A and B are shown apart, each in its own frame.
Chain A
Amino acid sequence: MKRKILKILSFHFIAAMGGVFLIYILTLGLPDVSYRLAGGYADSNVIANIREELHLNSPPATRFFLFWKDFLSGNLKSFYSREPLIKVIPEKISISMKIFFLAICGTIGLTILFIFLFLISNKSKKIFEWMVGTVAVVPVFISATLLLYLSTIWMIPYELGAAFSLAIFPSILWSTNIFHRLKKVRRSPHTLLALNYRISRMHLIQRYIREFVPSTSMLFNAMTFFLTLGLAVVEGIFGLPGVGRWFLESMMRIDLPVIYFTSVFLSISIAFIYTVNSILLLWADPRGSHEI
């Protein structure tokens, strides 16, 4: 078990490092940042200063290390706000993390509610399935736009509205998955045997928990969706100054330092989520069907 966990950790660590490096390579493909930042009408001195500040004259490999050195020493600044990134990033992260955790709580809460609605009766299940089918075809940017409108009318805090709009689709998928798993587990041979031989309820519940652990990967997938796309979209729509919105705005005006370091933060967070998910799956199935 320990060996497998170590394997998972090293695999995801290498992948995260690969992600950090790949993001850097991709940022090299962006158009010349100095002209963009200078506004198109700047003289050669301004452009030379920007190139110097961003180390654009250095070879790419050297630039990578200089970038990190400047970031860690607090010298790397956003080109638009002129604030040091090391100071701004924690502020932005705290706002995004609030929405992120609210969205996770919302996903879990909605999933429980949906499963409850599935289980009440066959009629409620059918009505609910129809409702789910209708809601699920609405992408997050449309549901967030509508929820922004409703939040404004009903005076709901924007963080809650943003989190709720993120939680809708993952909770629908997760509850549908759990419901079908539940049906399968109830009829599975080991459950029938356990009931037949009157094995204690505790063992049965333990067995159920193990059966349901693989479906938690849906929650982890939802988390990666929040980080890669969701946060940027809902923060943009609700006007919340988090990492996602900052990333999207910087991307549109090619603010290289912000693009790079927000991408790195997001990729490391995703690596962490994948690692936890893999360890959880390993615990659920120690035979290693989810082995890397």
Chain B
Amino acid sequence: MKSKKKIRFGLRVLWLMALLFTAFITPNDPYKVDVGNSFKSPSVDFLGGTDRMGRCILSRSSIGVRHTLYHAGVAEIIALLISILTASVVTAFHFKFAFIAKMLNVFLLSLRMIPPFLLGLLAAVFFRGTDWGIIFPLVILSFIYSEFIYESELKDAIKMPQIESAVSLGASKWWILSRYLVPAVFPRILRYAVLDFASLVAFESLFGFVGITFPPVPSLGAMIYEARPYIMDYPWMFWIPTMMLALILSGGWKITIDKKDWS
């Protein structure tokens, strides 16, 4: 059992190291256009080969990984804070002002009915050329899906018998919050946030794939889109960004299939 745990821990460390390695390996200038070197297969000069403009695929993918992690990471942190705050307010209102809580829920459900691409387009228009054009729709997407979960977690936690007993015995709000509520809810929220981060990475690359991106900064999704016609003749153009994206996403999936999540 212990050796299994060690193997699992070792694999996670290996995954993290591989991720950091891919994010910081830029052997060539990712923006340098050199048409004379277009469609070069992987070699010592270009470890990941080149694209049709002669740019190094590995360096561009590496920059893409960095941007994807940055966009998804910032969006996740902001969305986590907003979601926890909103979920706390809605849970508080649920007991005192039920009508306001219901209206908030209706509003959130209405937000979930808006196609994410529309949000992406609007953000791209408003925050033209800045990272916020990608981060903003990711924050909204994460918020509208995670708020419901945090809210139900909080509502379930409040109904716990130990909290009810503490309330009836006259414990202070701070005591209940620090001793019961936060320890009960925080690990679950954190686990969900890691999963959500993986889905934000997928969304970010999807936005890049459909064209919601800001060139010349490379995006993994946009690179995969560009590589589609060359998938047979120049497979490295497609497979290197794909493998890097899969490497990021595999971290989240490992937690999804963890049996503890289903208990």
Contact = CB atoms under 8 A, between A and B. Distances in A.
Contact of B117 (A11, A19, A229): A229
Given A137-B249, A149-B231, A229-B206, A270 B113 contact: yes
B25 to A, nearest CB: 20
Nearest to B145: A221
A137 B246 contact: yes
Interface in B161-210: 202, 205-206, 209-210
B115 A139 contact: no
Contact of B210 (A248, A259, A263, A271): A248
Interface stretch (A23-31, A58-66, A67-75): A23-31
Nearest to A31: B125
A248 B256 CA distance: 30
Interface string A260-271: 000100110011
Chain B: number of interface residues, binned into ranges:
35 or more
Contacts of B117: 229, 232, 247-248, 251
Interface stretch (A48-56, A84-92, A174-182, A200-208): A174-182
A21 B111 CA distance: 10
Contacts of A138: 242, 246, 249
A77 interface: no
Contacts of A288: none
A180 B253 contact: no
Interface stretch (A100-108, A128-136, A155-163, A279-287): A128-136
Name B's interface SS. Answer: helix
Contacts of A149: 231-232
Interface string A240-284: 000000011001100000010001001100110010000000000
A271 B210 CA distance: 25
Contact of A141 (B107, B121, B221): B221
A274 B109 CA distance: 9
Chain A: number of interface residues, binned into ranges:
35 or more
Nearest to A138: B246
A176 B113 CA distance: 27
B245 A139 contact: yes
A233 B206 contact: yes
Contacts of A129: 257
Contact of A139 (B112, B205, B238): B205
A119 interface: no
Given A145-B224, A232-B210, A252-B211, A181 B262 contact: yes
A89 to B, nearest CB: 15
A266 B112 CA distance: 11
B24 interface: no
Contacts of B228: 145, 237
A21 B107 CA distance: 11
A259 B254 contact: no
B85 interface: no
A93 B80 CA distance: 36
A14 interface: yes
A22 interface: yes
A218 interface: no
B152 to A, nearest CB: 10
A22 B110 contact: yes
A137 B205 CA distance: 13
Most-contacted residue by chain A among B118, B206, B211, B250 (CB, 10 A): B118
Interface in B214-228: 221, 224-225, 228
Interface of B: 102, 105-107, 109-119, 121-122, 125-126, 202, 205-206, 209-211, 221, 224-225, 228, 231-232, 238, 242, 245-246, 249-250, 253-254, 256-257, 259, 262-263
Interface of A: 11-12, 14-16, 18-19, 21-23, 26-27, 29-31, 129, 132-133, 136-142, 145, 149, 173, 176-177, 180-181, 184, 224, 228-229, 232-233, 236-237, 247-248, 251-252, 259, 263, 266-267, 270-271, 274, 292
